[in-house]
Amino acid sequence: MAASSHTEAVDSTAVVTGAASGMGKAVAERFLTEGWTVLGVDRDAEALDKAAAELGAAFHPVPVDITDRAAVSTALGSPVGLRAVVNAAGIYPPTLLADYDEQTYRRIFDVNVLGSLNVTAEAAPALRASGGGTVVNFASIDAFAVSPGQLLYSASKAAVVCLTRSLAQELGRDGIAVNAIAPGWVDTPGTRAGGRMQQAVAAVPLGRAARPEEIADWVWKLCHGSYLTGETLVVSGGLTVR
């Protein structure tokens, strides 16, 4: 995609999952600031309505469970002017070999991997109809440097990295670039609730967690590169260096 312009913004739509809170909401806000229309996807309809009231008329709430492909197809329809898909939805309950169970495995992989696949698959025809565009998947530094207690989450995000590479090859000839972003510690309500962030950021060379807005800035940039596809950008303040 070419660099952002006023003409592009007038006609451009983005689909953002996990848009009711955290990094997904920050991404939605960034696109709205640039003049785009945003279809904000989240399974929490109440939180999505609150976000819609805050973000304004260009934010269109789409309450749907992304693990249900048929429901995603119905909810998204065929958005006109779709130029970007951002798969920010994700869950990260802690797991160990000693305590994981099949239900937790299914839930983590269904949301983090299958959900990203479902949304991308259902949005791809609209991206093609717009002449191409970009997909940005949310991976994590845990895909490269695993954290204690994140057995299944780390595996799911490694799968997202591989998924990104495969989709880049498959969709490239349609003019669709597919990349991923791998955040480190990000100061969101969900991360703070985990209770590990304050101690963990002491190991970050830049000395702090990222702000959600900083991650959103990098997502915006990934959606406006002209020749980058199949890559995963690590944004960790130096905690993980590749």
Which residue's structure tokens are 């996807």?
Answer: 41
Which residue's structure tokens are 């479902």?
Answer: 118
| Count of CB atoms situated within 10 Å of the CB of 59 | 23
3-state secondary structure of 201: helix
CA angle at 95 for the pair 91 and 101, rounded to the nearest 5°: 95
Instruction: State the sign of the Cα–Cα–Cα–Cα dihedral 101, 104, 108, 109.
Output: positive
Query: How far apart are the C-alpha atoms of 53 and 20, rounded to whole Å?
Result: 11
Angle between helix axes 102-109 and 151-171 (nearest 10 degrees) is: 30
- Residues annotated as catalytic are 153
Q: Are 237 and 218 in contact (CB under 8 A)?
A: no
Which residue's structure tokens are 């007038």?
Answer: 10
Cα atoms in the 13 Å half-sphere on the side-chain side of 91:
19
Q: Are 207 and 184 in contact (CB under 8 A)?
A: no
